[in-house]
Structure 1
């Protein structure tokens, strides 16, 4: 990033980097996702992913996915996949090579991460006509460190616009407090309200990007996406990073039982 881009990110809480991936890179990630889907046998039980009722949070299949590659289905169309998560970057060679490329490591350093760790990865489908809505949220609600350090790298594998459910953000609102924590409480998951301050009264900005763009998202930035009601797909690959200098709580939903959280090497 140059100085102007860094200043924009610090002001708005998000930054668009066009043409971060080549068309060939996008093709490779989409092809690999298709291979994973072709080899997946869902069996009789399917976990539905919903940001509305969080029913998936009661499912061990979801809660134990931090160190695995697992498949989650759409709320409106239970025969269609919503996403694959959450350790593609560690367990799949194609996603692993992409996720640990030097350009991403350099970007993490440029935004101020001292010891960047790759915590979570997701391949998101947003199928035509059914791709589910994602409500307003802050990523630090779900992936919490002290101090807050989670950062999202959201990569468009298709053109993303208002018609097919692009990201929407409240620019500058990352300067406000963390409103909620989604955390473990014994054997249950709870959503704890930390601050009742409403979202600031700023105009939501649609983050319309072309295929291959990378969007950097601050962990406190309120953002969302609408349902995909278009005839076009809106695939994306997302990495969430935390700083190893911060403390990652044992009450976070995502825990690693079998192997540690690693950085870029």
Structure 2
């Protein structure tokens, strides 16, 4: 098996568990730049009268708010990871800025994003893979993104009840350090815990799927982004502006 970014150990862990945490994906300088951008984006968004959900600060379609977010969407190393889990043809289907403040209760109990699984030849291909870039340390009680390892392989009827909440047997919390990238199969059972800490849980989120999927309603890229003549073939593929390309060339 040819891998573009993952080690064989990481690939086996991904196939087994349905999620993967990669530490030090972003360096301290990048974290500083992204955190400043997130604060400015959120301030500008609120200043326009946008109302936040009751339990999280959220900017959907964050790629519309600056080139910096587009660059993270197509981060070269993450593109290698996506090639390892999808193959050479995939697209971006949604993207978010999330800040969960101290004391905020969960915005997402135990659930799957999809029950669809696919096989292309002998390769299992996820219907979607979501990537969280954590911009600050996440303590154990800091509203962790959490997973039930191996649940991507389980039918719905065998999944434990979502009522277990923070007492879900066998769950693993992503109490990770700043700069960690966490990716997971949409079929993996997951949740967000209450933020009982005194710290914000800060993340940028990008969701990818096979190229035949379209961007989720409400996240469609603007014409400004789609018609930008400076777009690379890779960016066009991710934005859905160049469907069904001869995929491998876009990574060159």
SS at match of 1:39: helix
Q: Which has the higher strand share?
A: 1
Match of 1:66? none
How many Å separate the matches in 2 of 1:24 and 1:89? 20
Q: Which has the higher helix share?
A: 2
Match of 2:60? 85
- Stretch deviating more after TM superposition (33-42 or 202-211): 33-42
Match of 1:98? 72
Asked if 1:242 corresponds to 2:209, the answer is yes
Match of 1:32? 37
SS at match of 1:211: coil
Q: 1:243 to 1:31 in 2, by over 3 A?
A: same
Query: How many residue pairs are counted as aligned between the two chains?
Result: 210
**Ranges of 4+ aligned residues in structure 1 off by more than 4 Å:** 144-148, 252-255, 257-261
How many Å separate the matches in 1 of 2:84 and 2:48? 41
The answer to whether the Cα contact below 8 Å between 2:94 and 2:219 also exists between their aligned partners in 1 is no
Cα deviation, residue 9, structure 1? 0.5
| Offset from partner CA, 1:65-87 (integer Å, 9 cap, x none) | xxxxxxxx1325xxxx521112x
Q: 1:214 aligns with which of 181, 189, 192?
A: 181
The answer to whether the Cα contact below 8 Å between 1:114 and 1:243 also exists between their aligned partners in 2 is no
Match of 1:62? none
The answer to whether the Cα contact below 8 Å between 2:93 and 2:214 also exists between their aligned partners in 1 is no
For normalisation by structure 2, the TM-score amounts to: 0.73
Q: CA RMSD in A?
A: 2.7
The answer to whether the Cα contact below 8 Å between 1:145 and 1:242 also exists between their aligned partners in 2 is no
Match of 2:27? 22
Match of 1:75? 54
Where in structure 1 are there 5+ consecutive unaligned residues? 47-72, 180-196
The answer to whether the Cα contact below 8 Å between 2:118 and 2:127 also exists between their aligned partners in 1 is yes
Match of 1:233? 200
Q: 1:124 to 1:175 in 2, by over 3 A?
A: same
- Stretch deviating more after TM superposition (101-110 or 123-132): 123-132
The answer to whether the Cα contact below 8 Å between 2:93 and 2:219 also exists between their aligned partners in 1 is no
Cα deviation, residue 247, structure 1? 4.5
Alignment of 1:159-170 (within 5 A): 159-170=137-148
SS at match of 2:80: helix
The answer to whether the Cα contact below 8 Å between 2:132 and 2:182 also exists between their aligned partners in 1 is yes
Match of 1:186? none
- Stretch deviating more after TM superposition (108-117 or 215-224): 108-117
Asked if 1:126 corresponds to 2:100, the answer is yes
The answer to whether the Cα contact below 8 Å between 2:101 and 2:201 also exists between their aligned partners in 1 is yes
The answer to whether the Cα contact below 8 Å between 1:126 and 1:228 also exists between their aligned partners in 2 is yes
The answer to whether the Cα contact below 8 Å between 2:96 and 2:204 also exists between their aligned partners in 1 is yes
How many Å separate the matches in 1 of 2:136 and 2:207? 20
For normalisation by structure 1, the TM-score amounts to: 0.70
| Offset from partner CA, 1:124-148 (integer Å, 9 cap, x none) | 101122264421121227xx79775
Cα deviation, residue 216, structure 1? 1.2
Cα deviation, residue 8, structure 1? 0.4
Q: 1:198 to 1:176 in 2, by over 3 A?
A: closer
